[in-house]
């Protein structure tokens, strides 16, 4: 898919979400979808590294630890942002 097509698709999804949700919440939902997709692809890549064994397996474990810490911070920030949007 060309880059411009994915941008157009994102804009379309955002407009559809905005018909039933406030703009900030719709954007947050779309962003959550992107994060979910990235997480799935990342998990597949980490699984391949683990299966490779040796130093690749060690690298996968280090990456997993770093990701876990980052995800925790993102979840906290996302929850705070959702509360802010909901209170507006």
Who's near 56: CB < 8 A, 6+ residues apart? 49, 50
Confidence at residue 71, expressed as pLDDT on a 0 to 100 scale = 83
Q: Per residue in 45-65, pLDDT tens?
A: 999 999 999 999 999 999 999
DSSP 21: S
pTM of the model: 0.55
How many CB atoms within 10 Å of residue 6?
A: 10
Measured distance CA(68)–CA(29) in Å, rounded: 21
* Per-residue pLDDT at 53: 93
Q: Give domain limits for the chain.
A: 3-87
Nearest to 28 by CA among 88, 87, 79: 79
Task: Band the pLDDT of 10: cuts 50, 70, 90.
Answer: confident
């Amino acid at each position: 898919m060309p880059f411009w097509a994915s941008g157009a698709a994102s804009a379309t999804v955002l407009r559809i979400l905005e018909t039933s949700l406030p703009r900030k919440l719709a954007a947050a939902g779309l962003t959550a979808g992107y994060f979910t997709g990235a997480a799935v692809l990342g998990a597949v890549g980490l699984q391949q590294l683990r299966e490779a064994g040796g130093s690749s397996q060690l690298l996968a474990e280090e990456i997993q630890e770093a990701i876990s810490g980052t995800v925790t911070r993102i979840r906290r920030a996302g929850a705070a942002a959702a509360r802010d949007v909901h209170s507006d």
